[in-house]
Amino acid sequence: MDTAPMPQANANPRTVRPDVIVVGAGIAGVTTAYLLQREGRRVLLLDDGAPGDGETGRTTAHLSDVLDDRFTEMERIHSEGGARLARQSHCTAIDTIERLAREENIACDFVRIEGWLMLAPGQDPASLDREREAAFRAGHVGVDKFDHPPAPVSHPGPCLRFPAQATFHPLKYLAGLVRAFQARGGDLATGVHVTGVGQDADKAWVTFGDTTVEAGAVVVATNSPISDLFAIHTKQAPYRTYAIAARVDKGAVPNALYWDTLDPYHYVRLQPMADHDLLIVGGEDHKTGEARDMDERWARLEEWTRVHFPMAGAVEHRWSGQVLEPFDGLAFIGHDAGRGERVFIATGDSGMGMTHGTIAGLLITDLVLGRENPWAMLYDPTRQMTSSLGEYLRENLDVARRYLDLVKPGEVKDEAQIRPGEGAVMRRGAQPVAVYRDEQGQVHRRSAVCTHLKCVVHWNPGEKTWDCPCHGSRFAVDGTVLNGPASAPLPAVDGGDTHGRHAAE
């Protein structure tokens, strides 16, 4: 796919005493930094990679105010008023992206389109009627029911059509917003791996390497917070989701968002290219660290695509991303209760990261500036999971069970059994070791104990990473952190990197 050149960053922060430090340059962090800079605050934006290098660069970028946990479910959990407020916040997020793209002249392919929710085969058609009524109560007055989606989409069942949804190119938008942030005096520094966040009575601070930078407030927008080490991670669970992009002729598929009612559901949008379109199809989600059949998942996605979109041509790209699922369907945005009033977090994208990230920018800007915001309680990170108690207990029991991995036998007994390009957890006495053999035969051994809260990592053959099933930390084969909440790498053990014999040699 085409990408967007990111503006240059500084190797080191220039701002000596910023008003606000934002950690994480994805959609939530960049939007927050831009809006606060626009309000006259001096903002320092930090990331260990380039803007959009994390999950924002992997999103399929649906811009929707149709909550993917369903309005009926949102009403049950958050009340009718809560569901209405949630829809309104996502609607405002889409409007904000459209407005900022216009005001800052960002060419990001933003377009308003319809959304089609397709009832999966065998499900009760009356559930669509109930969803339509709940959507109406949440303020979606233009939703209509149809017997099928627009031709030539091949789906036999009834659908709901939602007006005023949208798509855009997230990296083009992010690059434009970063440029506008810098043009207004904002300071972006990349290659900065923040390892500590905290606050004293009159200031907040972050540390990286031997450096500490102080500010009036710190916003942690690292997808999974590196500041809150425990509480927030008991209220959400990490999932992997899969996507493919297939070539289609321009105009062959009506430009709209499509998704179905399966669990996990399929989701579809178009990305315009110079002389064709790409049909981007996602789905096949599973809990992080709990599957090794990535090729089969991509194959099933392609199969589903060819049934519903028979005009789809060759699959040109495939990838996966991480979704943090809050047990009550809404992101956590606000004060980090464990750190104090000067530290803020944004997490729990719930598969709606582009709108939740933009809501984070709007809401945290108001909180930092001491302004009231009608969404503050809805997204409060300290809220209780009383209406989602079953889910809360189930997921946390699952995490507790994961600690049994610490005493389980290894997946292989001899590292010679590990083929080039593959990894497995072995045991060396009491210690689980993550062993990866690269294509050149070099063997890389790291501790398999996650540096967050000590679960055992699992091999992800699709991404060639070590993934933690407990709270979603992910590590490269050399131990480097790819996803928080862990911030320390997996240490080298047992000789680290050496050439090792493979059984076929």
Q: Which residues form the interface with ligand FES (CB under 6 A)?
A: 450, 452-455, 468, 470-473, 485-486
Nearer to ligand FES, 6 or 291 (CB): 291
Report in angstroms how near the CB of residue 458 gets to ligand FES at its nearest. 10
Tokens of 501: 């014999």
Nearer to ligand FES, 468 or 482 (CB): 468
- SS3 state at 455: coil
CB-count exposure of residue 303 (10 Å: 0-12, 13-18, 19+)? exposed
Report in angstroms how near the CB of residue 476 gets to ligand FES at its nearest. 15
Nearer to ligand FES, 155 or 452 (CB): 452
Report in angstroms how near the CB of residue 206 gets to ligand FES at its nearest. 20
Nearer to ligand FES, 402 or 437 (CB): 402
Report in angstroms how near the CB of residue 352 gets to ligand FES at its nearest. 22
Q: Taking the alpha carbons of 324, 327, 328, 333 in that order, is the dihedral positive or negative?
A: negative
Tokens of 296: 């089969």
H/E/C letters for each residue in 266-334? CEEEEEECCCCEEEEEEEEEEECCCCCCHHHHHHHHHHHHHHHCCCCCCEEEEEEEEEEEECCCCCEEE
Report in angstroms how near the CB of residue 455 gets to ligand FES at its nearest. 4
What is the spatial distance between Cα 189 and Cα 403, in angstroms, rounded to a whole number?
A: 37
Give 176's strand partners.
none
Nearer to ligand FES, 294 or 449 (CB): 449
Report in angstroms how near the CB of residue 471 gets to ligand FES at its nearest. 3
Q: Which residues contact 147 (CB under 8 A, 6 or more apart)?
A: 158, 159
Nearer to ligand FES, 128 or 453 (CB): 453
Report in angstroms how near the CB of residue 505 gets to ligand FES at its nearest. 34
Q: Which of 241, 291, 321 is nearest to 482 (CA)?
A: 321
What is the spatial distance between Cα 69 and Cα 117, in angstroms, rounded to a whole number?
A: 12
Report in angstroms how near the CB of residue 132 gets to ligand FES at its nearest. 39
Nearer to ligand FES, 186 or 321 (CB): 321
User: What is the H or E stretch that residue 217 is in?
Assistant: strand 217-220
What is the spatial distance between Cα 154 and Cα 134, in angstroms, rounded to a whole number?
A: 27
* Helix, strand, coil fractions of the chain, as percent rounded to 5: 25, 30, 40
Query: What residue type is assigned to position 199 of the chain?
Result: Q
Report in angstroms how near the CB of residue 58 gets to ligand FES at its nearest. 19
Report in angstroms how near the CB of residue 488 gets to ligand FES at its nearest. 11
Nearer to ligand FES, 111 or 406 (CB): 406
Nearer to ligand FES, 330 or 470 (CB): 470
Nearer to ligand FES, 318 or 471 (CB): 471
Q: Which of 485, 499, 500, 32 is nearest to 233 (CA)?
A: 485
What is the spatial distance between Cα 343 and Cα 217, in angstroms, rounded to a whole number?
A: 6
Q: Which of 125, 126, 116 is nearest to 157 (CA)?
A: 125
Are 492 and 477 in contact by the 8 Å Cβ rule? The answer is no
Q: What are phi and psi of 151, to 5 degrees?
A: -65, 150
Report in angstroms how near the CB of residue 439 gets to ligand FES at its nearest. 27
Nearer to ligand FES, 174 or 486 (CB): 486
What is the spatial distance between Cα 191 and Cα 56, in angstroms, rounded to a whole number?
A: 17
Nearer to ligand FES, 74 or 470 (CB): 470
What is the spatial distance between Cα 500 and Cα 272, in angstroms, rounded to a whole number?
A: 47
Report in angstroms how near the CB of residue 503 gets to ligand FES at its nearest. 31
